[in-house]
Structure 1
Amino acid sequence: ADEPFTIFAPQNTARDRTENLLHLPELVKNLLLDHVVLGSRIDLTNVTSETNFTTMSGRTVTVKPAKESVTKLKANDANVIKPKIEIPNGILIVVDGYLFPEDQLIRRNSTSQGKLVDDGSHFAGKEHPRVRSNTTFVENVMEVLGFLKSGVRVFQHFLSRSNVSKLLKEDEEYTVFVPTDHAFQRWHPIDWGFYPFSVPEFTESVIVNHFIKGRLRQDDIKDGQIVKSLEGKDIIFRKTPSLTVNGATVVKGDTPVSKGNMMFIGEVLFVSESVVSKLHQQHKDKETPPLLAFPWVGAQFLSHAFLALERDKRFTHITRFLNLADLAPHVSGTGYTFFVPIDTAFEEIGLDKMPDNYLSTGDGLRILLNHFVKGRLYDKDLMDKKQLATLGNETIIVKREKGKVTINEATIVESEVFVYNLGTMFYIDKVLFTNSNSLPNTSTAPPEDTSTSTAFTTAAGAEKIPEELIREPGSMVDVLYADGANSENVTEAATTVVTSPAAVNNTVE
């Protein structure tokens, strides 16, 4: 909040009888609100008489001189240890106990129903439904991260989408190491490139490996101590000169939550240059591209595809036709599949003898458009008898038999050539929808762009980041959630996985 505030902060020694409170997240929230006064910076340095303040929970805090000494102050029944510690936009007042200690008296009945007994002001007599659930640990971690409006939003986002809670066992405690946003930012490309956390299965594994069994407190950790993550990876602690976790500095003290503890760290565990490099080779389709002003600034997929084909001697004919064709209005933006005929396909029907502008307009342009499909396809999408609508308003029929894939009469000779995360190319041995006896009269007007998005991974179908996580649109934190692509302009592939290991070397560099 932008408003000034004052926090009455109990010392750690006031922690007695609060371990059970951590099993009741709603009461933790109310406990916090009981100790915050919003709207003013309270200066107790000159208080000589009784003064009252209202906390965010609506309760009254009475500050008055202590009976034993007028130089000492009491806040309700707690002693004021430090009356004024200035922090940004607020004041911290350190006290030696809770302002409303009667609320911390928690008793459970003999049948362990999880009922609370207090003064009636907070959930008296109600059963808390999450007391016996091990998902409470993850839920409470999420609640703490939600209170922190900045600094750990990326981990919070990934944790909310993970399956960590399914791995937790009953009656066990856990510790989680939470990397800061800056830790994730280190791995994000400055302008374009590969972001490892755009690969969902990798991200899931990384998040899981930040959890360990057992409630570890920093004071109890020994130098050189080794523990196992939930996936069995080694986590090594060092305490000299300061506490580190696998070399990552612990940047904040213990943050106890229900059935566990949280520690904040300055690096993402189990992510290194070698790990990211290997991952990059396996997932070239996640790589974000540089913005090209040439050949067609409004058609980034087409531009990058053209430049890649231009460097390959197998594609001299398709590139000369593309160079003069008015394709950009029909293949604008990103999220396409391009079935690219090799040179011999053009030579087979005599198109190799035609001038460069032969396919630039009319029926000639339609031939080129019939090699484009809206939507980024993978090899797994080319199922037997699948029908695909081209941008030239024709229908491609896929046939898959004994490892051989054909589209109409053309055989795919090379699959899944990724054009960054913009789209995919498949190289074929024939020109589609034409032969030597049906070469076009190019005076016919080009087709209207009536293509619609197919059921493949496209910008329109991409899963968007929940609005509640986007508090600062356009910030670096937002692009760390996935691959940094603009969901309106770039095809998002966060939920698509390469299924053909042989295809990973076929990526456009």
Structure 2
Amino acid sequence: MDKLLANGVEVVLESESVFPRGRSYSIQELLFVDYERVEELLAQHGDLETAPLLGSPWPTSQFLSHLLERVEQDPRTTFFAEYLNYTNLAYLLPGSDDNLDPLKYTAFVPSNNALAGMLYADAPDPFQLDVVLRDNLILNHLVQGRLYEDDLQDGLTLSNLANNTFTVSRNPDGTIQVDNATVIESQVFIYNLGIVYLIDGVVGITDQDVEAPPAPTTPSTTSSPSRPTWPPAPPPPRRPPDPSVPASHPPLPPPAIRFETRTEISISRRVNDGQAEPVPVSES
């Protein structure tokens, strides 16, 4: 049997529908669109793509949930991902305002190198142990509003969600700085929810905020704790370790879950005349 092709794509003749002024047929592929074209469109207009709905960890803040997913996948931002994972800040980044208008956000995410430069090699990670410090770290790098690269003009002052301000600078070589941190990857779209910039510094947190405990004094040394070389240690596991395994410091609590849902499913089978007969479900 002969086949009808449209640009090399087979037309399903059995799908023919007749209308007063024409006919319609189904085909199994898109015409004039391939994977390369889709990738090109995403790179150019990724801010128009609707984000898939995530049920966790923060259903009320889709931007924050997708941001966590994105920074977890990037090997340059695993430290920030761990800290974000153990926060519960979704109430500060809702998906819409009181009028149900959608809200967008911008994240300036510090790299692992930048965060490691603030840690001491012979001391616990303060961002793991100090809830207030960890929340301040996250909020200092989040801004309400979707800021494109063209919006980051020289001298622009931005207020972050920690109620602090920082200044954007444009250098002659075209690089962008937020305070003393340089943008090393620009304008990564988190679907239509917001934008991420990767930076090589930490904003709003100083060395004084990250205090190391005094080093033990011995007859041979009185030196203070030293800064580590990169990497200081592999990033901590996302979930607390097995309690039977000794740890160098107390594990973090599991991330807070904003909502818990329960779904009950009834099972039945069709019997005489199509009537439904419930099937008992044994309790485990």
Instruction: Say whether 1:393 aligns with 2:155.
Output: no
1:417 aligned residue:
188
Deviation at 1:281, TM superposition (A): 4.0
1:342 aligned residue:
111
C-alpha deviations, 1:106-126, integer Å up to 9, x for none?
Answer: xxxxxxxxxxxxxxxxxxxxx
State which of 33, 38, 47 in structure 2 corresponds to 1:273: 33
Q: Give the secondary structure class of the aligned counterpart of 2:196.
A: strand
1:429 aligned residue:
200
C-alpha deviations, 1:433-487, integer Å up to 9, x for none?
Answer: 122223379xxxxxxxxxxxxxxxxxxxxxxxxxxxxxxxxxxxxxxxxxxxxxx
Letter in 2 for 1:429: D
Equivalents in 1 of 2:130, 2:72: separation in Å? 17
The answer on whether the counterparts of 1:408 and 1:432 sit within 8 Å (CA) in structure 2 is yes
C-alpha deviations, 1:221-276, integer Å up to 9, x for none?
Answer: xxxxxxxxxxxxxxxxxxxxxxxxxxxx99665xxxxxxxxx99999xx9732396
1:320 aligned residue:
82
Deviation at 1:407, TM superposition (A): 0.5
C-alpha deviations, 1:366-396, integer Å up to 9, x for none?
Answer: 2321110001111011001011111111112
Instruction: Say whether 1:367 aligns with 2:129.
Output: no
Q: Superposed, which structure 2 residues align to 1:61-140 within 5 Å? A: none
Larger Rg: 1
The answer on whether the counterparts of 2:127 and 2:133 sit within 8 Å (CA) in structure 1 is no
The answer on whether the counterparts of 1:325 and 1:359 sit within 8 Å (CA) in structure 2 is no
Alignment CA distance shift 1:271-1:387 (3 Å): farther
C-alpha deviations, 1:50-106, integer Å up to 9, x for none?
Answer: xxxxxxxxxxxxxxxxxxxxxxxxxxxxxxxxxxxxxxxxxxxxxxxxxxxxxxxxx
| Structure 2 unaligned blocks of 5 or more | 1-16, 96-102, 213-284
Greater helix percent: which structure?
Answer: 1
Q: Give the secondary structure class of the aligned counterpart of 1:357.
A: helix
Q: Give the secondary structure class of the aligned counterpart of 1:411.
A: strand
Equivalents in 2 of 1:342, 1:371: separation in Å? 12
After TM superposition, the score normalised by the length of structure 1 is 0.33
Deviation at 1:423, TM superposition (A): 0.6
Q: Give the secondary structure class of the aligned counterpart of 1:392.
A: coil
The answer on whether the counterparts of 1:321 and 1:358 sit within 8 Å (CA) in structure 2 is no
Bigger RCO (CA 8 Å, 6+ sep): 2
Equivalents in 2 of 1:281, 1:342: separation in Å? 22
Letter in 2 for 1:382: L
| Structure 1 unaligned blocks of 5 or more | 1-248, 254-262, 442-509
Instruction: Say whether 1:307 aligns with 2:69.
Output: yes
Equivalents in 2 of 1:264, 1:422: separation in Å? 40
Alignment CA distance shift 1:439-1:286 (3 Å): same
Letter in 1 for 2:190: V
The answer on whether the counterparts of 1:385 and 1:399 sit within 8 Å (CA) in structure 2 is yes
Equivalents in 1 of 2:23, 2:105: separation in Å? 42
Q: Superposed, which structure 2 residues align to 1:104-503 within 5 Å? A: 272-274=32-34, 277=38, 278-333=40-95, 334-350=103-119, 353-355=124-126, 357-358=128-129, 360=131, 362-402=132-172, 403-439=174-210
Alignment CA distance shift 1:250-1:381 (3 Å): farther
2:248 aligned residue:
none
Letter in 1 for 2:74: D
Letter in 1 for 2:75: K
The answer on whether the counterparts of 2:105 and 2:194 sit within 8 Å (CA) in structure 1 is yes
C-alpha deviations, 1:332-368, integer Å up to 9, x for none?
Answer: 22510000000111111117841563353x3441232
Alignment CA distance shift 1:328-1:317 (3 Å): same
> How many equivalent pairs are there?
181
Equivalents in 1 of 2:191, 2:120: separation in Å? 30
Alignment CA distance shift 1:271-1:389 (3 Å): farther
Equivalents in 2 of 1:386, 1:250: separation in Å? 60
Equivalents in 2 of 1:354, 1:419: separation in Å? 29
Deviation at 1:408, TM superposition (A): 0.6
Deviation at 1:419, TM superposition (A): 0.8
Letter in 2 for 1:371: H
Letter in 2 for 1:380: D
Letter in 2 for 1:286: L
Equivalents in 2 of 1:296, 1:351: separation in Å? 32
Equivalents in 2 of 1:390, 1:266: separation in Å? 53
